[in-house]
Amino acid sequence: DSVCRLRRRRKAEADENKELIARSELLVEGNDLDKFDKLSRALDRLDRACFRFLFPIDRFLLPFGPLLAFAAGVSQKNSRTMDYYDLLQVPRGATEQEIKKAYRKLAMKWHPDKNKDNVSEAQYHFQEISEAYDVLSDPERRAVFDQYGYDGLKNGVPDENGDMRDGYAFNERASEEVFSKFFGTNNPFGDFGFGDTQPFASSLRKKGPEKAPTIVQDLSCTLEELFLGVTKSLSVQRKRLQNDELVDEIKTFVIKIKPGWKAGTKITFDREGNETRTQEAGDVVFQVVQLEHDLFKRDGAHLVFTAKIKLSEALGDHCVEVPTLDGRKLAISCNEVVSPTSEKVVKKEGMPISNPAGERGDLRIKFNIVFPRQLTTLQKMALAKILV
């Protein structure tokens, strides 16, 4: 009884298979792919062992192979699946700007020419993230991927008229094109210092900078400002990326100048300078420039003042009045004879010293002796007696 039931079952299945095959041939001739797709699923649900026994699989698949591959939703070549959102490390609801930001970061990380020690792995990741960006940055391709998944995108889906759209394809050359288009140049490798415009150039002439060039601007200060300290505001024009576009903007920096700073002191604002599509933001550096002073010259932490005195003052007791940078006046007595090379030192009246805190340099007084333009005979005789 069991054997009879099995034979009857196989005969029924065979009859059903014959009917399905006949219907398949009619559908193929009429190019009715939707109905063929449903029919192929029905064939798949049948007992394959019985099907192979009664109908040689090679004879059946020969005329319908391509259509069966389509009905299955994936070809052998595209058997793997990819989640483009995972590849770019963004959520499924990511905005256009989030997708661009993610691609920029990953493209810079995995570009093969920046991974010389592991080119094969870099090429693999670079192509994947380029493909992911190519799909998710295109509204139509993204919509197909969101609705039909990876297989639907690759194999094509029906359009509004019921016609099949071509499937999406991506290759290594496309990775270069995506990168070039995104960074706005036909030679993206040149921006990194690469001499070869071929994809994944293997020769590296010069490693490109990690940051954009530094903006250097003078910070002009009077000697009084460097003596007392002051707060200044300076504006710099720079280029920044906004919504993936380079725009000019003005950035104002507030700088607190500390007492005792010297010419050449540099104040750096990290990553506050220009941005480019291929480089991180550069720095802004302000460099102290000390303006000339009418009365003082600076020698490190010391101040040098030149007092203008008469010859009579140089030869006798006199007092030199010296103004200070903080508005005071110093009266310096000179009881000795002053020569053109004489120098008088006043301790701790120079520039502030930051280390150790609270210390100051000295005030050095030099002399410019003004000689009389002419003397009478009597004056000369008198001087001769005095100076003997």
Tell me the whole-structure pTM to 2 decimals. 0.48
Q: What is the mean pLDDT of residues 118-123?
A: 86
Q: Could you tell me which of 211, 275, 213 has the C-alpha nearest to residue 238?
A: 275
Which pLDDT value is given to residue 30? 52
- How many H-runs (helices) and E-runs (strands) does the chain carry? 12, 13
Phi, psi for 193 (deg, rounded to 5): 90, 15
- Please report, to the nearest 10 degrees, the dihedral formed by the alpha carbons of residues 286, 183, 93, 171 taken in order: -150
pLDDT of residue 259: 94
Identity of the amino acid at 244 = D
Evaluate if residue 316 carries a pLDDT over 50: yes
Average predicted confidence (pLDDT) for the chain: 78
Residue 56 confidence (pLDDT): 44
Over 90: is that where the pLDDT of 51 sits?
no
The per-residue pLDDT for 198 is 45
Contact 283, 271 (CB under 8 A): yes
Q: Percent of the chain, pLDDT > 70?
A: 70
Structural domains of the chain, with CATH: 2-72 (no CATH), 84-192 (1.10.287.110), 215-290 (2.60.260.20), 296-370 (2.60.260.20)
The band of 49, judged by pLDDT with boundaries at 50, 70 and 90, is: very low
11 closest CA partner among 40, 57, 50: 50
- Which helix (H) or strand (E) segment holds residue 358: the answer is none
In the prediction, which pLDDT does 4 show? Answer: 58
Residue 280 has pLDDT above 90, yes or no: no
Task: Determine which of 162-166, 249-253, 266-270, 372-376 has the lowest per-residue pLDDT on average.
Answer: 162-166
Report the pLDDT value the prediction gives residue 223, as an integer from 0 to 100. Answer: 97
pLDDT of residue 184: 59
Please report which confidence band the pLDDT of residue 227 belongs to, taking 50, 70 and 90 as the band edges: very high
CA distances from 296 to 60, 164, 222, 230, 318 (A): 104, 86, 11, 19, 21
Over 90: is that where the pLDDT of 3 sits?
A: no
> How far is residue 112's CA from residue 121's CA, in Å, rounded to a whole number?
8
Distance CA 281, CA 213 (A): 8
- Structural element, H or E, at residue 77: none
Share of the chain above pLDDT 90, in %: 40
**Does the structure show a pLDDT above 50 at 228?**
yes
Structure tokens at 306: 């030149």
Determine the Cα–Cα distance for residues 62 and 69; give it in Å rounded to an integer.
12
